[in-house]
Amino acid sequence: MRLSVVQLCPGYLLLCCLCTHIQAQPDSRDSLHPPGAYYNALQLYHQYVTPETGLYRGSEYVQYGYTLKEGHPFFDDGHQQQGTIFYNGILFENLMILYDQVREQVVINDAYENYKLFLINAQIDYFTIQHHFFTNLRDNLNPSAPSPGFYEQLFTDRITLLKKEHKTVQTDLSSGKVEGYIVYSVSYYLKKGAIYYPVNNKRSLWQAMGDKRSEAKKFIRKNRLNIHDDKEKMLLQVAAWYNGELSGSANK
């Protein structure tokens, strides 16, 4: 019985995937819909490697050892949701994912769905949960960059708007047993070129707008935007407007 090269060596498919991917060099969001040749090779790789040893490398996820009486540590509603992960150079699709924002761990089921495991952060380039896109920020040499970790990418073109949700656990012993509750906060960052600007109040937003500050104020007044009513909506609209301003300047 003769076996094909694919059957003999699934690693050959992986090599093909990587070579094609390197040649294409898609943007991180474009990688969700990679070029045809890469995607076809990737599907063959996934088909022949079962269970996928490239994915199920991590440690067992341990539940919290005390009762959380208020809030939960996970992204969104706290339930597993469908998503994708670009892990160790390979795109894995149709996964059920939890994102623990307290421990900053991306959690999936093991290959046989007997337990949950969390993946190695250093090997995650990005992941998605439904329509939310999280990038692993690792600009360690950039003095303006926020701390390393996973940031939700809300907008990207000539500029990028990032969101960082922070969750911590505070403990309460008043009932005679250890109980916890979640403390939540959120931060936003606008990246222009290589510079990151925190944009969490009007003053920091004006600083990020630079020489477009006056025009930005007019845009906000005209559209009746209020940073206190819905900060994220306002920042998204300002980012899209500012991106259009940059595009217009570049086309002149």
Tell me what pLDDT residue 4 has. 40
Read off the pLDDT of each residue in 160-170 and give the average, rounded to a whole number.
Answer: 97
> Strands 67-70 and 179-192: what pairing?
parallel
The CB density around residue 157, as the number of other CB atoms within 10 Å, is: 13
Record the pTM.
0.81
Which region among 3-7, 108-112, 198-202 has the lowest average model confidence (pLDDT)? Answer: 3-7
Checking if the pLDDT of 48 tops 60, the result is: no
Read off the pLDDT of each residue in 61-68 and give the average, rounded to a whole number.
Answer: 86
Tell me what pLDDT residue 32 has. 60
Dist. CA 93–CA 85, nearest whole Å:
7
The CB density around residue 121, as the number of other CB atoms within 10 Å, is: 15
Read off the pLDDT of each residue in 80-104 and give the average, rounded to a whole number.
Answer: 95
Report the percentage of the chain scoring pLDDT > 70.
Answer: 77
Report which of residues 12 and 161 the model is more confident about.
161
Checking if the pLDDT of 153 tops 90, the result is: yes
- Which 3-state string (H, E, C) describes the chain? CCCCHHHHCHHHHHHHHHHHHHHHCCCCCHHHCCCHHHHHHHHHHHHHCCCCCCCCCEEECCCCCCEEEECCCECCCCCCEEEEEEECCEEEEEEEEEEECCCCEEEEECCCCCCEEEECHHHEEEEEECCEEEEEECCCCCCCCCCCEEEEEEEECCEEEEEEEEEEEEEECCCCCCEEEEEEEEEEEEEECCEEEECCCHHHHHHHHHHHHHHHHHHHHHCCCCCCCCHHHHHHHHHHHHHHHHHHHHHC
Q: Confidence band (pLDDT; 50, 70, 90) for 165?
A: very high
